[in-house]
Amino acid sequence: MPRALSLLAAFASPIFMCAAIAGWLFEVWPATPLTLGVAALLTCGGPILGIVHVATSNREDDEVEDEETVVAAAPPVVIHPEPQSVRLTPKAEAARRFANWRDTPNEAITQRERARRANQYVRG
């Protein structure tokens, strides 16, 4: 717990310093010697407060009892068999043949496009 408080105090100081400077620049907080002194005291006091927290902490609370280490046995190795090939029903096989037919380019259209491009090349 004291270490957490010291970290909180150490990180709160720069944040407060930035907030004080922003307050002075945006004229929310007047930049007087009093506010400068308060900001400096709180900015420097945060790390000092953290050091005091750690120095005066009860070390018995921080100590963790050493417990006996338990070593667990390794899990057994499982060998997975190779997956079997997928068997399609006749209807699924017909659907696959149709999809393959539909997705293949039509040879007649391909030849027509080649001829068109060749004619453009010859004429050009």
In this prediction, residues 94-104 reach a mean pLDDT of: 85
Model confidence, pTM: 0.33
Residue with tokens 């149709």: 98
Determine what percent of the chain is predicted with pLDDT higher than 70.
Answer: 85
Q: What pLDDT digit, counting tens, does each position of 70-87 carry?
A: 888 888 888 888 888 888
Pull the structure tokens for residue 70. Answer: 């338990």
Q: What pLDDT digit, counting tens, does each position of 54-73 carry?
A: 777 766 655 556 678 888 88
Determine the Cα angle at 33 with ends 23 and 43, to 5°. 60
